Chain A
Amino acid sequence: MRQPILPIAPKVSQYGIDPSLVKARAAELPGMTSLLIKDMFPDTPDVIFPAEGGLAAIRKATEEALANIDMSRIKPEHSVNILASHHGFTLLGGEPYAEMLKTIRDFVAARTGASNIRLRAGVGLRFRETEEYIKRYGLDVHFQGKAAGVAPVDQGIAIETEIGTLYGIKKVYDADWIIHAHNSDVREVHFHRQVDRAVKPFGMSYARIETRSTYHQNLGPRAANFTARAIFDSTFVQSKFAFSAFLVMSPGGVVGVDADNNLYALNDRLTYTGCRYYGKTMTLLGEIDECIAVLDFPCPVPYVFAAGVIYANFVGANTDLYDLDKPLPPYTWYTEAFYGKNGRPLLSEIPLVNPAIKMCVQNYAWGGYPSAFFAEQIPTVVVGREQAEMMNRDPQNLTYMKHSVVADTIGDAMKFAYRTAGTDKVIVFDGAMGGLNVSEKLADLLIKKAPEVNRRVEEQLLPKWLKQRGMAP
């Protein structure tokens, strides 16, 4: 059995506890081992990060991807906004995404002669999150003081679309040109269902509250993704759009960088790899029959990573999240909204959360995202009174601790979990690069199940998923 992979280190952030309070990591628990994505799925593409080339490989891949991009419309006197999102900084420590952003700036400046190049970094529900990343990764210095975090409550701008008026963040669009700099990590597949994944930030991290509420409240779980397309296709956005550059991810790490003047062409390429590679990991995690899930990563509860997949997806892994014929995953905001006062779903179409998760131990995760649903549905132990207090103070998690218990140490929490859950299968969401940390028992199960999952996805599921998205298998 392999040694556990080093987990991502805790980060200083106003949304989490001080890293000094994280006394021990789940990967250090007795009986823990690790699996590489390649051990489970040998056809997973080779990665450029984490790898020997380090961040230099990201710079090189970005330069190569940008070499074929038409930037002729950007003139030296023009202003350019490079648009980024918080998600990218949660991948593999954040440095690869930051390096791609820096390289885009340098390349565009050198190729076009433009010097007024700004970074506009959007957020989710933690409005200062990208301000923290901008400082941590030296982006303020690299962009010569022209780097800013933007939030959905900032001043807006009306955007006329083919479905009506939607609203963007004014500062996102306050330049002659915009460059969409994102990543292909699957992340919230429960929301986007791998439909227009590459376009999503136009309806989310670049958008105002009205637009985001349209996505999560007005359109329905599968029509919602049209919000972003409507904005991106608008005359206003098209008049400013220069090109896109994406950090291409697989569950194993960074596969490369892709760039295109045609966002939909790029989107099609990412739809295929997203369904194929993340679909396998997701399907394999759905094979877990029972487990204790340990959260141990610097992100809010639903966003902690294992094998490139977030906890929110694991909560829905008992269903096929890619199958668009299934209207609602076990967790989305639409799903959560459709639970009645009795704590049960209002409709029979709503699947319950993954019954394999017998208990959740929150060793380290942030607030800043409404997470009470998880604690309501899954028995949860929070490690440390400081972390419990952090959740209690969070305006988005005022009831989270009403449904959780507190343990002083991770050792105490695990003792309780093993005894109460009655399983020694453990999966750790700690962002381990290139694989995942699990208990030996769970490692055995995953290795045994992986070949059949690989075959099922290739032969049955992938063709169906692609067809549902209008793509030839």
Chain B
Amino acid sequence: MKVVTLVPRVDSEKCTGCKTCERVCPVLAIKVSNKVSMVDEDRCRGCANCEQRCPEYAIVMVNRESPVTVKVDVDQVAYDQIAQLCKKARLNPQQLVCYCTATRAEEVAAAILLGAKSPEDVSLSTGVRTGCKVECIQPVLRLLEAAGIQPVPPKNGWQWYGRTPTVWEIPEEIKKKYSTRGFYFEEDIKLLDKLVEVGPDERRDD
């Protein structure tokens, strides 16, 4: 869930149409047309990637007149389906996948079960990947993959390139080779497996 409070303003005098903003926008809300960046304010999730990477400093973020809340209601989907998808992706439904928007795995799973087919769709509906824009791409890709979806990165974009390894996929010889150097692969697998298995009635409540 995210409350979108900002929106970009492009200074068309400074904009050179280089397309950097287009390549970094996680929801494809900014496009270059006639060599000037144009913002689709309905799609924009206020992440400021465009403003932060514009080489000409042609973009500023301003407050929206009215903040917009984006959220997927998990109650729209049977919870056992959500739990099943999260488990397949080796995530607990309750765990946070986006620290900035406090979005949990269950909301991303619900978005996918309701039809999101790509990280862009997921971000548009939940707000994930629109805070720090860095840390939450992998759980989104893992959940999409668990749903049998193989998204394709935006053409010529730099938004994302692909899913990367998880601890469960580290080859045995690597684990063995580095086990004395402070890398606790097996122990972390046990920890994460235990987390995945925590059910709604077993949550610590002290």
- Using a CB–CB cutoff of 8 Å, the interface residues on chain A facing chain B are 125, 127-128, 151-156, 158, 162-167, 193-196, 208-214, 216-223, 225-226, 229, 324, 327-328, 333, 336-342, 344-350, 369-370, 372-373, 392-393, 395-399, 468-470
Contact = CB atoms under 8 A, between A and B. Distances in A.
Given A128-B52, A395-B6, A210 B183 contact: no
Contacts of A154: 24, 53, 158
A372 B101 CA distance: 10
Interface in B151-173: 158-167, 169-171
A167 B192 contact: no
B170 A324 contact: no
A387 B198 CA distance: 39
Interface of B: 2-3, 5-6, 23-24, 46-49, 52-53, 61, 63, 92, 94-97, 99-102, 104, 130-139, 142, 158-167, 169-171, 174, 178, 180-185, 187-189, 191-192, 194-195, 198, 203-206
Contacts of B183: 195, 222-223, 225-226
Contacts of A349: 191
Given A222-B184, A470-B182, 16 more contacts: A125-B132, A154-B24, A166-B165, A210-B138, A210-B162, A218-B142, A220-B191, A223-B185, A337-B96, A339-B96, A344-B206, A346-B195, A392-B5, A395-B46, A399-B102, A470-B181
A213 B5 CA distance: 25
Contacts of A337: 95-97, 99
Nearest to B2: A398
Given A333-B99, A337-B95, A398-B100, A344 B203 contact: yes
| 6 closest A-B pairs by CB | A220-B188, A222-B184, A195-B182, A213-B138, A370-B99, A127-B52
14 contacts: A151-B52, A153-B133, A217-B97, A218-B142, A218-B165, A218-B167, A220-B188, A327-B184, A333-B99, A338-B92, A348-B204, A370-B100, A395-B132, A398-B3
A210 B102 contact: no
Contacts of A158: 161
* Residue from A196, A213, A340, A341 whose CB has the most chain B CB atoms within 10 Å: A213
* Residue from B96, B131, B180, B189 whose CB has the most chain A CB atoms within 10 Å: B96
B182 A346 contact: no
* Residue from B132, B171, B203 whose CB has the most chain A CB atoms within 10 Å: B132
Contact of B164 (A214, A220, A344, A468): A214
A163 B170 contact: yes
A164 B195 CA distance: 25
Given A217-B136, A220-B192, A393-B5, A338 B95 contact: yes
* Residue from A158, A195, A372, A398 whose CB has the most chain B CB atoms within 10 Å: A398
A315 B162 CA distance: 34
A399 B24 CA distance: 24
A164 B169 contact: yes
Looking at chain A's contact residues, is the secondary structure mostly helix, strand, loop, or mixed? loop
Contacts of B101: 398
Contact of B131 (A153, A208, A395): A395
B203 A340 contact: yes
Contacts of B169: 163-164
Nearest to B158: A155
Contact of B182 (A208, A216, A222): A222
A392 B5 CA distance: 9
Contacts of A469: 181-182
A193 B134 contact: no
A208 B189 CA distance: 24
B134 A152 contact: yes
B182 A344 contact: no
Contacts of A166: 164-165
B146 to A, nearest CB: 14
Given A219-B167, A327-B188, A346 B203 contact: yes
Contact of A468 (B142, B170, B182): B182
Contacts of A209: 133-135, 137, 160
A162 B174 contact: yes
A324 to B, nearest CB: 6
Nearest to A127: B52
A213 B185 contact: no
B131 A370 contact: yes
B135 A346 contact: no
A339 B95 CA distance: 7
Given A163-B174, A195-B182, A396-B100, A370 B132 contact: yes
Contacts of B180: 470
A151 B5 CA distance: 24
A219 B99 contact: no
